[in-house]
Structure 1
Amino acid sequence: MKGKNLRVTDTRPNIIALRLDASFFFERAVRSLDRNHYDKALKYFRKAVEYEPDNPVNHCNLAGILSEMGDYQGSNDILESVLKNVKPSMTECYFYMANNYANMEQFEAAEKALVTYLEEDEEGHFLEEAEDMMELLYYELDRPTKLNRIKARQGAVEHDQARMLLEEGKFAQAAKLLEQISGDQPELLAARNNLALSYYYMGMFEKAKETIMQVLQDEPGNLHALCNLAIFYQNEGGGPHLDELMASLAVIVPFQQDQVFKLGTTMGIMGRHEEAYKHFHRLLKDSENKEDASLYHYAAVAASNTGRYAEAKRLWQYVKKLDPVSETPRFYLSRLDELSRKGQLMEKLSYHYHLPFNEQFKLWEKYGSRSVPEEMKKDPLVRSSFFWALRHGDDATKTQVIQALALIGDEEVREALGLFIVDLTQNPGLREQARAVLRRMDGQQADVLVTMPAVPTAEQYVELRAAAADPQMQAVLDKAFSMMGKRYDIAQHHDLRELWLEYLERIGTEGFTIQHVDGWAAALEYLTAKMHRKQATYREIAGRYGISVSTVSRYARQIDSVCGIKQKIAQRLPSFTEKV
């Protein structure tokens, strides 16, 4: 065609090169899932794994689609492979596996995987879902899941366990657990607050105060710590520090219920009954507290202490309805009626949900030799009052407490009485009563039933050495104590001294002379070891003292002939035989 230029164009279609990588197949897989094409999604996820075998997400996606398709075992095989070969720190795989096991109705395996997830996972992305699964497992296995900790909650499980121990009155056990939590996570102030309370309930006031002061150094406005400190100051007799602190607490109006309750009980304990009444009255308005018998009791006490007797009676009647087995509301209702008939006012009452101390003893005496009800044994306030009185009461009260603790007879009591026995500041007669209780508790299984981990301090050695005026008699003790060292605890040092004093008292020391200090000391150590079921032989002890076996044996037989040690041991341990 004349006059026109011929232009040639490229008629080939545009070609876009496909980049086949893991992302490409992942996107295709997701698109297939959106269309419910599970077979295609599975195929694409497999290809993604082939392209990026070291990427754990690809493997988890593949495990996820297999689970969706009902291949739970295949899914778990992949998840186990991730943990073993790809990324062992990918702890969420345990949660996915727990789901798969649950779907296969393998509930034991599901529980094991779920516990591993909770105890090892730091992020806690599936905490809520894990709690739901724990409820399912509780239903299916008919028992709670044993869980030591939830790592993502930074000690919350352990703290809950410690709080439960406190509520059960197991203060020493609670203190040990709280000490561990506080050491591992010092930022968890609630644990340190409860640790201070544990010490306080056990009568360890200085340690309690020291712990609270450390909390307030880290958080000066911590209300729970301030309330605890007020009670500790009062225990010391009050003073300007307490007055200043109470003035600050009096103007606080907390909003969180636990803080309102804490402040209310603190005000009540401090004798600020009007403020206590206002705080408890606020709590009673909340419908969530309608079943809390202890709260209604505290409110009744506050009402009584402020002269609102009609309201106090109404509140205790409600407590009686909520807690029909408790003697506490019955006692106070009876007391109100009695004083009303006489036209007298009610005395100021303690803010504890248990009977007054003297009434507790009357009730326990009513049971006599019969078993005390479990709810009384476990009542933490009853137990705390007993443990406190054992440390700080007068001798008459301590005698009653020792008798009452004999009826409880658990490990907490054993530990408390054991500490009492080796406290050389206590009345020797009372310590012997405590020792007799421990013997009965153990069914004559041991003469000394509590093994204390600590060796005597320097001050305790001074007390232990005060045995006899005669320097020769004392020299035997000094030699035995120096040789026993850290192999024996304070209770065992104490019993060696008691054995020596018993022997000297029975034979009479007039005309008696010590011719072989090492022999007597070695014999005392040997018999003390046997009383405490420690491994000991004549030969081993003789070797340490640098004397002959016959010397140790001769003096041990002499002491035994007077004090009857082997007979006592044989009564509680018939298989006992001497080893040379």
Structure 2
Amino acid sequence: MNKRFKTKRSTTKVIPFIQSGDYYFTKGLRAYRRRELYKAKKYLERAVHLEGNEAMFACQLAVVLSELGEYQASNEWLLKIVTELDSDMNECFYFLANNYAHLGLFREAMNYAEKYLEREPDGSFVEEVEDLIDLLSIEQEALDDQEDLIMKQEKARTLLEKGEFLAAIDALKAIIGEYPEFWSAYNNLALAYFYMGDTEQAQQILQEVLEKNPGNLHALCNRLVFSHYLRAEEDVADLAEQLACVHPFLTEHRYKLGATFALIGRFDLAFKWLRHLYKIGFDGDYSFYYWLSYSAYYTGHEQLAKTAWGKAMEQSSEKFGQEPWAVSSKLMRWLTSTDIAEVLYGLYMMSKSLTADELIGYQRVKSELPTQVQAFADYIFYSDKEVPSFVSDGYAVMDELWQRNLLADEQLHITWFRVFLHASTTELHFVNHCAWAAATEYVWRQMQGQSVTQKMMAQKYDISSATVQKYVKKVRQWLS
């Protein structure tokens, strides 16, 4: 017997289960109370994703991130809360103070701690904030005890920056005599000797620091920079590999490491540290933003490069027009110039602005260069060909001008190559690098109508006035 079955119509309604931000926030709180911090982070991130304007959700996420040691990410949320979501959520200032203290940024920590007390004199975290301020004050007192030392060090640093190397050396030696374990003075003393051309003495001082204070980061970074300028490529590679494994705790050391990598053209390693500092709100100077811009650009982060360059120009506009994205076009303009001096300058700038790997990409350019610059090009491209000593000396003279006139008009530097081209036809050595540099700068500045004396140049390059006068005659002869 056939039976017919009737299909029953279902009366059940399907209700979609859509979790709200509150749902995930509650789960996040439960996980947090059980100290399951990674689960709490996951749930709270979902909560703020669903309800991005809920300040309480964002604040709880910031607290969890802080406990996980992710202070940078925590600060980003806390700052977003007080600037965009709820300016009256004053507990965020306490959390910010704690985070900055953990990051070693004590000044910022003190600022936010004091801001919390201003806004919440009877708040829930008053006792904790007062304890934090006491700890930060102890750090400040320790710094105050060294005020005399800091003033002396600052004076020596100023002399160093002004190029008064003999005076800087005397000042630094005096500091070392009084504070024999103040390693910063040793490192600056090494720089002073290096700038004077006494590379052996500079290296010996760094070796002394590393023997007495192994792992001194500033000494290691300075050694890397010295090796770079001395074109000791194997040493550069070894030191860079060692320092790539270093993870400093102090902000100052992170900046030093980032700037050093940028200076030698390792923009990948430089960007790692400089971007990190930028993201945690580091209050950088002109040099910080300059190197951040270059490292960002050469690692493919063009928008950040432009932002950083804008900040650098706000502090100093003297390098306007030398932004990293303009370097390649400028290089080609110089290298294809009909003025041989400009071609030489272009080659020099290649060695300063490109990494060793990037230089390989320009090898094809070498075959298209004029005959007069082939030897100089061999030196730039690390050719196996034996390069005449006057070429390396000519490069070293340019280094003297470059180090003492980084922000100078390009024409000063090109002027040296005009002298070099003419003088090299008869004078096949330029061993007195400082003398040639001082004389070139003196003559060029006089040609620009600037008020300059041979005595000033003698002091700047740490040579005698008589030597300057002797070489000025040679420079004028070749420029005439």
Tell me the TM-score normalized by structure 2. 0.44
Larger Rg: 1
Tell me the TM-score normalized by structure 1. 0.37
